A and B are shown apart, each in its own frame.
Chain A
Amino acid sequence: MTLATLTYIVVGATFALYIGIAFWSKARTTGDFYVAGKHVHPVANGMATAADWMSAASFISMAGLIAFLGYDGSVYLMGWTGGYVLLALLLAPYLRKFGKFTIPEFIGDRYYSQTARVVAVACLIIISFTYVAGQMRGVGIVFSRFLGVDVATGLLVGMGVVFFYAVLGGMKGITYTQVAQYCVLIFAYTVPAVFISLQVTGVAVPQLAFGSGAGGGESLLAKLDRVVTDLGFAEYTSGSKSPVDVFFITLALMIGTAGLPHVLVRFFTVPRVRDARTSAGYALLFIAILYTTAPAVGALARLNLTATIQSGPVGAVDGNLAYAERPQWFRTWEDTGLLAVEDLNGDGRIQYYNDANPAFAERAESMGWQGNELTVDQDIIVLANPEIAGLPDWVVALVAAGGIAAALSTAAGLLLVISAAVSHDIVKSWVARGISERQELTIGRISAAVAVLLAGYLGYNPPGFVAQVVAFAFGIAAASLFPVILLGIFAARMNREGAIAGMLTGLVFTVGYIAYFKFHMQPLGGNVKENWLFGISPEGIGAVGAMLNFAVAIAVSTATKPPPAETRALVERIRTPR
């Protein structure tokens, strides 16, 4: 059986599973549609949250990102996991006690204001659409690489599947499909990781292989440092970003994670307040399995790749891999364009080194190297792993299914919060208050359908800046939603005026800062360290936006009249489980 046939079978089988689950868990009430009837077991919710959270980027790109960033990649590892501590300690149990359907609804009720609710809906929609466009693109790319169909076809199939279970099953449908998707993606991620660890180090557990010896009394990481610095790259275990920037990026990603609506809403679905707490623990446990494996895979793969190209000592004539002798996996991925070689000095061998390092330039020239000849796409680290490790075809097929599962589960979660915001926060509470539950459910399904179509369109025709705006989703979530939700629970005195002023300040500041640097507005200056405020890059500015939001909200609420008695009673109520 060919690899393509096998991949079709494995991916097809997972799709059949998702659709079967959708039939079994059809939403009958708005409660089912928005919060899965609040019947989700905390462990199941943990798995669903993990799948919801881990996107195509986590699955396909993160290990590669870390492989090429080294220590600097830690911002993603700590940032995207540390947020769950904030979520579990400061938000999830209280939002569950509040016990309604959406995040804007909480903000609207707590701040007794339709305006606050609408501002929250606007933030939610900006965050979620930014994020979902990337997911749909990811679905299309996985399809086209593994199944040999074009991106548009892949996108249509992916949209069809999401359409089916999100529109039909609502939150209830996506919850149980996400549980299945988690199992598929974690299995697909860890199997190749274990084999590659065994192959490189002889230790089966990637987290331990990461810290094992590489022979001759040298540890794997020390060897990696030596090998990459020999080629003019930065030392793997120390970073090149400034500590201030690392600090703020990590903080912005943590706060942003805790403020993402599609993650927060998952904690509305468990039966009790104490389930919300443990469920956040399970979610992070399930996430941590992938997030602690990824840096190990990154380091092992970087060493493997470098050693494959620089097979002998640097400077020796036969120290570099001859192009004609490149391994089979190398040829396969060259066809996809993820690996590209250009023989600049015409010696028939591949030189892979840091040609942007002036300190290494002289040495390179003396060896007759005329520039780096290998271009590597970071995604290859995960995608090519099974072939590099010589694993059977079914593992390759599984990785394809895992990548698609990661993308679909996140897309579905995002689409659901968008549709809930439209049907519940805009239509039901504002435009057409008198509608029945049945009508609201229908509107929810229609808006989910429209959101799928729009997301598909954005995935196919990504706005030119899509790669630039990932920072937007986290920055905006950190600067707008997180502070007002937190203050809504912990500061009983916080009022409507403070919350609205805070959200708008955080939003405008963060969007403005990112736009200023990311879109190169002339004549304002380039996106370089010298121009940044306090040396903080646009990726980390959400943390400053959040601080401004807190400061403005507190100042404005102190100067205006306190919230009404009912609001204080609401705060009292959400603070205790019973």
Chain B
Amino acid sequence: MTEPEERAQQRRGYWRDNLRLAGCCLVVWFAVSFGCGILLVDVLNQVRIGGFELGFWFAQQGSIYVFVALIFFYAWRMGKIDRKHGVDEED
């Protein structure tokens, strides 16, 4: 394999890993907000956690906590993917 081809293949692999990770994170993003906070809110409100109905908690608190965690998780995993494919930035 010539060098440019090798580089192109490496980039394709990097991009595929990136899309898979971002896709998984977006599923979680959708599930906690649109899923738990909106579409399933009445079902989840049957469950109580402390003084909260669960669906209401997701809509006004829980989804936001998950969003924050999700971005840091993505940043951490992308760092690993960058290094795995040798495209990480030097310091």
Contacts and interface: CB of A to CB of B under 8 A. Distances in A.
B71 interface: yes
Interface string B50-91: 111100110111011101101110110011001000011110
Most buried by A among B25, B26, B75, B87: B75
A237 B75 contact: no
A295 interface: yes
A90 interface: yes
A192 B19 CA distance: 43
A572 B12 CA distance: 10
A219 B51 contact: yes
A576 B51 CA distance: 46
Given A221-B53, A247-B34, A277-B78, A82 B87 contact: no
A312 to B, nearest CB: 24
Given A82-B29, A82-B33, A212 B51 contact: yes
B71 A88 contact: yes
Binding site secondary structure of chain B: helix
A292 B33 CA distance: 14
A84 interface: yes
Contacts of A295: 60-61
Contacts of A74: 37-38, 56, 59-60
B29 to A, nearest CB: 5
B46 to A, nearest CB: 12
Contacts of B38: 74, 243, 246-247, 250
Given A221-B53, A243-B39, A246-B38, A281 B87 contact: no
Interface string B13-28: 0110010001001100
Interface in A81-113: 81-82, 84-86, 88-90, 93
A81 B34 CA distance: 13
A250 B88 contact: no
Contacts of A274: 75, 78-79, 82, 88-89
B30 to A, nearest CB: 9
A284 B51 contact: no
Interface in A248-301: 250-251, 254, 272-274, 277-278, 280-281, 284-285, 288, 291-292, 295
B71 A577 contact: no
A575 B15 contact: yes
Contact of B87 (A210, A219, A250, A577): A577
A151 B72 CA distance: 42
A77 B71 contact: no
Contact of B50 (A219, A237, A247): A219
Contacts of A77: 59-60, 63-64
Contacts of B34: 247, 250-251
A211 interface: yes
Given A78-B37, A88-B71, A575-B11, A237 B78 contact: no
A78 B64 contact: yes
Interface string A204-240: 0001001111100001111000000000000001100
B87 A277 contact: no
Contacts of A246: 38
A85 B31 CA distance: 13
A576 B87 contact: yes
A237 B53 contact: yes
Contacts of A210: 51-52, 60-61
A281 B88 contact: no
A212 B26 contact: no
B11 A281 contact: no
A222 B51 contact: yes
Nearest to A222: B51
Given A71-B56, A77-B59, A576-B87, A285 B68 contact: yes
B49 interface: yes
B90 to A, nearest CB: 8
A568 to B, nearest CB: 12
Contacts of B15: 575
| Residue of B67, B82, B87 contacting most chain A CB atoms (<10 Å) | B67
21 contacts: A71-B56, A77-B60, A85-B70, A86-B29, A89-B22, A210-B61, A211-B57, A237-B56, A238-B56, A243-B41, A254-B33, A284-B67, A288-B65, A288-B67, A288-B68, A291-B64, A572-B11, A575-B18, A576-B11, A576-B87, A577-B88
Interface of A: 66, 71, 73-74, 77-78, 81-82, 84-86, 88-90, 93, 207, 210-214, 219-222, 237-238, 243, 246-247, 250-251, 254, 272-274, 277-278, 280-281, 284-285, 288, 291-292, 295, 572, 575-578
Given A74-B38, A219-B52, A291-B64, 18 more contacts: A71-B41, A71-B56, A71-B59, A78-B33, A82-B33, A84-B67, A88-B71, A89-B74, A219-B50, A222-B51, A243-B38, A274-B79, A277-B75, A277-B78, A280-B75, A288-B65, A288-B67, A576-B87
Closest 5 CB pairs of A and B: A219-B51, A74-B59, A277-B75, A281-B71, A211-B51
Interface of B: 11, 14-15, 18, 22, 25-26, 29, 33-34, 37-39, 41-42, 45, 48-53, 56-57, 59-61, 63-65, 67-68, 70-72, 74-75, 78-79, 82, 87-90
